[in-house]
Structure 1
Amino acid sequence: MKRFLPKTKRRSLPVAVLGALTAATLLSTMASAAEPPAAPAAEQAPSTTDGGALAAAQVPVPTVTGPIPAAMPPGTDLTHNYPQLAAEPGFDLSRRGYVEEEYFFGGNATRYDTPPMADGVALSTGNPYQTRMIVRRPEDPAKFNGTVIVEWVNVTSGYNLDVHWQESRDYLTREGYAYVGVSAQRVGVQEPPYGLTAWSPGRYGALDVTAGGTITDDSLSYDIFSQAGQAVRTNPAVLGGLRPATVLAVGQSQSASRLALYYNSIQPLAQVYDGFMLFVGSGGPFRTDIPAKLMRISTETEAVLNRTPEQPDSGVLRTWEIAGASHVDYWFMMDRMLTAARDGLKPFSFACDRQPLSHVEVKSVLNAGYQHLVNWVRHDQQPPTAQPIRTTPTPTGNVIPRDENGLAFGGIRLSEVDAPTATNDGENSGQELCRLYGSHRPFTAEKLASLYPTHDAYVRAVRSVTNRNLQQGFVLAHDAGEIVRDAEASRVGTSNPRPVP
């Protein structure tokens, strides 16, 4: 069981302390493995091609208002006069040299149809809208690495969930990214009780992504998302004067599925974004005649429930699958529950048939994916390829063969899988969203003792697996150090192997 340190503590360690612990001292027996080259300075020209720049210039520039004043701190104002899911108190942006601001933006949007594997078709133009974006950026321009992550926020739960930010915020702030979360869909903006206009009428009452209620199928959302990227590119005020060199579009699950349609149908027309990352989303296959790079990162859950027809990696497409991981993991959910409870958002049900939430932590793979994607976009440096999770097709869907520990074969294999202390997988059943939670079943003390007769044996096993993933490019040095520190802080292999509750 990998609950060595409470995740809220691990994620909130001061950057100065973590930075002082180098990979060399933490991973003393690791072979040397260089991280992908650092992103170039923000002064570099945008990587969009000439044709892309021309197309992007044709996307309307929306009117941007803000930053919108907010009651401080979030959660203390009963009228919710602050950004929904503002950064939680346990993650101090100011200590990381970051500021959080919310802007409204709007104008007129085109309504699009998105036919399969073909350019989008404009159905109507001149449809008025106004929505919001939440911006988190370095306060000091010298810290900005030139890349902006623009997230199409997930609205499955009826509110605006910034999954990519919550998963990778340590990495994003450490490396100097700017982040923009965009509310593009009716559910997140206008559907009660958690859509913005119902959640805080005083703050968000003027927002509307339905052209006054005449378009309710989200067919405006694609152009709204394009215009958000256009605002990031052309309006320096949105980023506090920062000028981006690279703008990446990201989404998770429901919003990743929307981005799959966007990539195939809208990106060829708009060309606002330089690259895409789709995390645990369905969708595909993907066109290969679009120059924008696309990374897909998935878990066991998608391999079973909705793996799309296999499409080989190419010069513009890379697919990674994480063994043992689930669509929603334990560590992310622990953080998400804090902010959702603070903001009075929909509670969670964990009435699942098996103990829910895999403890395989996906953020380290996501972080590596970001760094590879930036270098792929800027320098055409191909990300590493990864084996898929092994599946067996049956008449009712895919089945994952498993070893004697209940663990999958293939995929990116983190220490929770190749130096296991529990059975983690991406499968479950039960109420509501249990099918997305995977499961976690700790090994018995006797089994742990047979696998790791000493604490040093366990630490060596974790270090070996992590060293391999570092060399292959599936984790970064900073995250590798954190993984090994967690192993060192555990009680696995001691006379009392169970972790502190």
Structure 2
Amino acid sequence: MAAVAIRAVALSTWMALYLGGPLAGPARAQTLSMPRVEMVPDDGQLPLSSARRPGTEYLDLARRGYEEQEYYLSGVAPAITADGRTVADAPYVTRFLIRKPSDPARFNGTVIIEPFSWFGERAAGWILTRDYLTRRGYAFVGYTLNINAPRHDPKFPVDAGGTSEDARRYGNIVNFDFMRRFDYARYAPLGSYYDDRRFLRGGLPDPFVPQAQGISAELAMLLKSNLPGGPTAGLKVERVYVNTWAVNAQIWMDYLDQGRHQQWRMPDGRPLIDAYMTGRLAYGEVAGDAIRVPRHMPEGVPFVTVFSQSETLHDVTEGIALPPDSDAPRLRYYEVMGTPHLRKADLGTDEVEPMPNEGGKPNDPRCQYLYDEPAELPFSALLDAMDRWVRLGVPMPREQRVARRGRAVVRDQATGNIVGGVRPPWIMVPTAEYWTDAETGCGVVYDTKLPYPASRLRARYGSYAAYARRFDQAKRRSVAQGYLLPEDAAMLKPIASADDFRSDRR
């Protein structure tokens, strides 16, 4: 997506703002109105984004001891501008899916919430952590933040021809219009407030739903209230965590930056949200401020951001330095090398992306192979570490930042890979060079890797058996560092095969 130019903000400025900048403090604590909730009538079709539907979100829920239900959520929520002004309190109707243990005794007390993506209504956080969530007894709620297609869709800034390549590619899988085409009877009631003349971000119509913050807060309040007959009936919800990936992560930066964590509370004064994790988005990349620390950090609650290699390169080339980690406030940033911004496994309903060799450099050897490593493993370990920080008070690990040389990363000459950051086993013991589209110019959304030829593998490791032993050692180091869970390490196989040591990939 075309992005508004980003203004780099120095770390000292961020911290000055946090410690007492020009913004007014958050409004005094208040309780929002409790939304209404009704189960969506069954029309004989599986709902959009269902984990029971074949596709990227699929999981055999019954085998995991889980069930899935879909609800309408309706109420009145503030419509807020990108700079934090409330324009109006307006009605809305949206929907959410809840996946929860069928046996309440298996529920661990925590609900994860995540807005579905703009593109194809996918839940990236669910895709990345579903095995972990269902092993550990979490409930998961994915919900829709969307609008009816306006005159000029802010997701797709127009070019000189009055449209855009992004609109031509993605226009049919966004907004409530896409959902109604998918299943009109089910999604006809959905609606939320938007006016492209009153809601601006970076000087252009704001692509984010103006009621996103209020809808998210009201949903969290509903889930944490443990209402009889509600979607969590029979469960005792003690905590609500944000785990939002890709473009909607910006919503939570806005939420915190504008002081909503302090402003909107449960009726008894408890926070609505107990931890915030976002990933695979560089705040401000779509439009707006490129700050990396909210001006109003939540007290005693983690704020965790996870960058793939792609977002890491974005901040390096823009000259944006990440803030130092701290325990007070609870702030963590992780740059996870060898993980891409998007995988084929992450695509939403009806989303199709061209392969790297179908872009602008079809013969470039760096544009032939996608990352196929299990990025969900380090991401799940980080979510688990955040949970332990909340429940047990055990601080999350700290990791060194990626090495920079000006506005470029430093790559190790022996491996071809970036120095620093979180290093999964496939980066500790590499069998490929991992690249981003920002570096290769392959011209697609995916990032790519360049596998080592057989001669380079043999020169580096000697034999497949020696490589496999070193990979096992790397798994143990990763578990000790806190970036791989022991149960996941047991299933993680070496990335290269014995055949890769004998002959080059075709």
Decide: shared fold, TM above 0.5: yes
- Does the 8 A contact of 2:326 with 2:332 survive in 1? yes
Partner-residue secondary structure (3-state), 1:232: helix
> By how many angstroms is 1:257 displaced?
1.8
The correspondence of residues 344-423 of structure 1 with structure 2, limited to 5 A, is 345-350=350-355, 351-352=358-359, 353=361, 354-355=367-368, 357-394=370-407, 398-423=408-433
Give the residue type in structure 2 aligned to 1:60: S
Give the residue type in structure 1 aligned to 2:216: F
Give the residue type in structure 2 aligned to 1:281: L
The correspondence of residues 73-92 of structure 1 with structure 2, limited to 5 A, is 74=46, 82-89=47-54, 91-92=59-60
The correspondence of residues 36-75 of structure 1 with structure 2, limited to 5 A, is 55=29, 58-72=31-45, 74=46
Q: Aligned partners of 1:144, 1:188: CA distance in 2, in Å?
A: 39
The list of structure 1 runs, each at least 4 consecutive aligned residues, that deviate by more than 4 angstroms after superposition, is 187-192, 211-217, 428-432, 493-499
* 2:75 alignment partner in structure 1: 107
Q: Does the alignment pair 1:424 with 2:434?
A: yes
* 1:231 alignment partner in structure 2: 222
Q: Aligned partners of 2:195, 2:436: CA distance in 1, in Å?
A: 41
Q: Does the alignment pair 1:273 with 2:270?
A: no
- Does the 8 A contact of 1:149 with 1:248 survive in 2? yes
Q: Aligned partners of 2:150, 2:219: CA distance in 1, in Å?
A: 15
Q: How many residues are paired up?
A: 415
- Does the 8 A contact of 2:429 with 2:471 survive in 1? yes
Residues 400 and 101 (structure 1 numbering): CA distance in 2 closer, same or farther, change over 3 Å? farther
- Does the 8 A contact of 1:325 with 1:425 survive in 2? no
Partner-residue secondary structure (3-state), 2:276: strand
The correspondence of residues 87-486 of structure 1 with structure 2, limited to 5 A, is 87-89=52-54, 91-115=59-83, 120-125=84-89, 127-155=90-118, 157=119, 159-186=120-147, 193-194=172-173, 195=175, 196-210=179-193, 217=206, 218-234=209-225, 235=227, 237-265=230-258, 266-270=260-264, 271-283=271-283, 284-287=292-295, 289-291=297-299, 292-306=301-315, 308-315=320-327, 316-329=330-343, 333=344, 335-337=345-347, 340=348, 343=349, 345-350=350-355, 351-352=358-359, 353=361, 354-355=367-368, 357-394=370-407, 398-428=408-438, 434=444, 436-483=445-492, 486=493
* 1:23 alignment partner in structure 2: none
Residues 215 and 455 (structure 1 numbering): CA distance in 2 closer, same or farther, change over 3 Å? same
Partner-residue secondary structure (3-state), 2:193: coil
Residues 107 and 472 (structure 1 numbering): CA distance in 2 closer, same or farther, change over 3 Å? same
Residues 418 and 145 (structure 1 numbering): CA distance in 2 closer, same or farther, change over 3 Å? same
Q: Aligned partners of 1:205, 1:123: CA distance in 2, in Å?
A: 26
Q: Aligned partners of 1:188, 1:168: CA distance in 2, in Å?
A: 31
* Alignment root-mean-square deviation, CA: 2.9
> By how many angstroms is 1:239 displaced?
2.3
Q: Aligned partners of 2:402, 2:305: CA distance in 1, in Å?
A: 14
- Does the 8 A contact of 1:457 with 1:493 survive in 2? no
- Does the 8 A contact of 1:452 with 1:492 survive in 2? no
Q: Aligned partners of 2:369, 2:298: CA distance in 1, in Å?
A: 39
Partner-residue secondary structure (3-state), 1:372: helix
Residues 187 and 326 (structure 1 numbering): CA distance in 2 closer, same or farther, change over 3 Å? farther
Q: Aligned partners of 1:256, 1:249: CA distance in 2, in Å?
A: 9
Q: Aligned partners of 2:113, 2:331: CA distance in 1, in Å?
A: 19
> By how many angstroms is 1:187 displaced?
7.0
> By how many angstroms is 1:137 displaced?
0.8
Residues 450 and 213 (structure 1 numbering): CA distance in 2 closer, same or farther, change over 3 Å? closer
> By how many angstroms is 1:295 displaced?
0.9
> By how many angstroms is 1:249 displaced?
1.1
- Does the 8 A contact of 1:171 with 1:367 survive in 2? yes
- Does the 8 A contact of 1:209 with 1:221 survive in 2? no
Q: Aligned partners of 2:189, 2:198: CA distance in 1, in Å?
A: 16
> By how many angstroms is 1:430 displaced?
5.1
Sequence identity percentage: 24
Structure 1 residues not aligned, in runs of 5+: 1-51, 75-81
* 1:46 alignment partner in structure 2: none
Give the residue type in structure 2 aligned to 1:311: P
> By how many angstroms is 1:85 displaced?
4.8
Residues 227 and 497 (structure 1 numbering): CA distance in 2 closer, same or farther, change over 3 Å? farther
* 1:16 alignment partner in structure 2: none
- Does the 8 A contact of 2:74 with 2:92 survive in 1? yes
- Does the 8 A contact of 1:328 with 1:357 survive in 2? no
Q: Aligned partners of 2:382, 2:240: CA distance in 1, in Å?
A: 15
Partner-residue secondary structure (3-state), 1:310: coil
Q: Return the TM-score normalized by structure 2.
A: 0.75
Q: Return the TM-score normalized by structure 1.
A: 0.76
Q: Aligned partners of 2:276, 2:463: CA distance in 1, in Å?
A: 44
Deviations 1:239-292 (A, max 9, x none): 243121110012112111222111221222224111100111222222364212
Q: Aligned partners of 2:386, 2:128: CA distance in 1, in Å?
A: 17
Deviations 1:307-330 (A, max 9, x none): 64321111210111112222124x
